Structure 1
Amino acid sequence: MQFWKKFALGAVAAIGLAMPAVAAERAVIVLDGSGSMWAQIDGKARITIARETLSSVLADLPDDLELGFMTYGHREKGNCGDIEMLVEPAVGTGAAIIAAADGINPKGMTPISDAVRLAAEDLRFTEEKATVILITDGLETCEVDPCKLATELEGQGIDFTTHVLGFGLSDEEGQQVACLAENTGGQYLSAADGAGLVDALTKTVAQVVQAEPEPEPAPAPEPTPVLDHNFAPTASLAEGGPDIEDGGPLNLTWQWYKVNADGTKGEWIGTDYYARFKGTLEPGDYIITAEYDYAIAEQPVTIVAGEVTETHFVLNAAVFKLHPRSSEGAEINTDASIEIRHDGEYVTTQYGDKILVLPAGNLEFDIKIGEAMVTKAYTAKAGETIEEDVIVGTGLAFFTTEYAPGVKVEDDIFMEIFDAKVALDGTRRSIAYGYNGEQDFELPPGDYVMDYKLDGTSGQIPFTVKTGERTDIPVLLDAGVLAVTTPTDDYVEIRSPTKDIAGNVTSFDYGYGPNVQTTLKAGDYVVFSKKDDVESETPVTIKAGERFELTIEAAAPAAGGKKK
């Protein structure tokens, strides 16, 4: 971390020293304190990396920066209102922020939107220029739309900006929070490790510091123009196709690497975002990649001093907009899974209604809703957009369970769905299973059998599912509850009162005292109990929807033998 610490301190200090400051700039850093910050990167907790990053970057701040510190999810679980300003914005707060971060114990929810809103209000964003820097390793979990919030804050603020540092987020997750930055004119920066987080925080803190422009230098003969950038790449999905523009649901990612002696891609140097990215690279040779969702183009690029290199990348990719529906006319199913293969090789699994950019060629999609699945195959051309409703074809089987009419089952009854067809060996294919008194299963149309079991009660119910329809299936157990209390840890077994034709007694359930409870079909039973050499048998009658409580008293064994 020493290299990054020196870099961070130098970068921020240089901003403060090189330009004369105007009125103090005000900002708040919001650090994710939710439970997910205990996840590890290379053996170190994310919260530890975040603390080290703050210690590195904030050790020496410009005198004209008023900086505050807020966190959330650090005091209790399940509370979306667990948000706290730990350090109010003021100059010279670096040490206080570092100390406050050391005391955070991640444990709760991720109320990103409310935290940003409260930070903005604390900065009086409707009256003064204000900046919020959000560091998060997760997505909003408190049912507030961050994109909508950002638009509202931008409209109400005098000059309000949010920068978002996605720590350990995937590209897809980053896209879901990037709008907080984009809708307020800020930047979304991704960090995969501690070095990346130091780099991202350094950039955003430096951007907060503003300065008066330097006075114009005295006129000089034929001054050499200074370029504000020397690399302006563009990209398209297909050769000759239109350039990709910003503003869509996806962003281009640019990465540049050193070139090894053998011409291969070497050490990573930097990353930036957006289709219209313009940057400054040291003159020299690079290998640069353009990534757009799951499409990647790579080529060598040479940066020449005093020149702007405008390199074009062809991604050779297609756009897919597949809308999974359970049946014709049904709403788009946001829980549908989509597994994608390119030329037979697995690419990714996505969920719900997605826009995907994928390499052109032979693509297969397994779209699954519940227990039903369809496979769609495409030969996609570069630059092509394929949009289609995918009808998986499912119906809904909904089960409700009662001991007797009007007496619902609250326990976790086990249900397993089987294909109605019986194989040659007498078995049926298992489709799905679950535990609850009320359960639903999305299934392909056809005939099925549901097996259920609750303690000593079991049975089967055949049913049929039709596409686009809900089938309600009541499960009437015709059963009651038997509760047995024994003196100690007696063995208790529930048996049939009579033997079958083979002379065997049926065992329905068993357990060990002092308390044994089971569910049984209405009817007559024998409760057998045993402790050491003492045995007893007690007849009981179970009624549907009722509870029968039985207490077995302790008894001494009869002389010379067992008591029964």
Structure 2
Amino acid sequence: MKALVVILTFLTSLFFSGVKAQDQPSPIIFIYDASGSMWGQIDGKTKMEIASQVLSETIEELPDQQAIGLVAYGHRNKTDCRDVEFVVATQQGSKSQVNTALGNIKPLGKTPLAYSAELVIGKLRESKEKATVILVTDGIESCDGDLCKVVQSAKAEGIDFKMHIVGFGLKEEETAPLICAAKAGDGQYYDADNAEGLSEVLQEVTKETVDKPDGNFTVSAYKNGIPVDALARAYKAGTKELVSMARTYRDTGSMYLVPGIYDLEVTPLEDSDVMPLLVAGLESKANETVHQTISFDGAKFLVMAKNNEEGWDTMVKIFPTGSKKASSGGRTYGREDTYELNSGMYDIELTALVIKGPQIFHRIDSVQIGAGETKKIAHTFQSGEAKIGVVSGEELVDAVVKVTDPGTKKVEASSRTYTAPNNNPRSFILTPGTYEISVMSLGKHAGYSETFSLEVKAGETVEKILSIK
């Protein structure tokens, strides 16, 4: 009996030690940008401060059993393209060690992205363990390396890792090599423009580890039949609890979703007024890859505003019916202007520029438009010209002129005549109607004032010259 108990105890200990080993997550290795450009500022704080703080906060939220490594580059030598250091090794790495190390790193040198990846991959080659590699950079390769080629070669060699890359404050035209490397590393490239964006991205990438099964949910996005770059976010159905993200890069994005029901929000990342599309109630299935195709074929409003049949510069705002927040807007500059949105019902506001008066605003309510539909919106404003001048004999007199709507008592326009022929008489472009004009002289002729009514008719010019002594 005693022997049996010993055997059972031994087998139980083996079982639980095996479970523990199996449940132990693979290391996460952060490659941290300490190049000189990290002294640059965003919203009044250096990128170094933002990145260090956000990364520390992210690491604090990782499970206690998570092994963490930290590699820094550009922190010891201003010109050395081999200035890359494994600051905290994954075997001994703890949250406190990594956070302490982050606080001691000061930006200084270059951006050897490819060599940094080579160093990390070399460690994985030696240890034969798999890992998630997260590279954070605010710049592109500055040491003639080819990061994408390094990652591709390592994958071809059979080294097991997943690489995510976070571009912090990068320009769009700088991202192509990083996108290439992330895709080669079975990971994702993410943009982050500020502290909030960096926090959101790091929260996500630390969940998308090498231990996670291969993607079982794919997304592609199109606009007018052409693939477009888009960001897909999967939420637990009926909530805003983010589960996973994927980017299409004008191709197909992939993510892993535990079998269940999800809401998918997809946002176009290329120039478009189309709002994110939400597809609710999508099911992820076990042992099956589910694909969702998203169409951003928007509805188009062609807006043309005129004044007395002449194309006129006009401000445009387009609101979903019932909403006070505009979905789109712009300025026509006297030409037909295009606004692309999701299908739906909209209220459209037009405000004529340069013209003054109570009728410079026009609103069209409850315009229904469908996906792929183009609808023309046209309106013609009307105006006339009022010219008000002040003279004393042959001399031009400087005066303040106010144009008031007698019904509302609102001053619609005001200006001065000065003493130059191009301003005296002063011209006012006004919507048709009767106005109250008040004139008060200035300078050596100060003390004269007069108020009178003036009717302005569409397409006509009316002139009034006041003569004072």
Q: TM-score, normalised to structure 2's length?
A: 0.49
Q: TM-score, normalised to structure 1's length?
A: 0.41
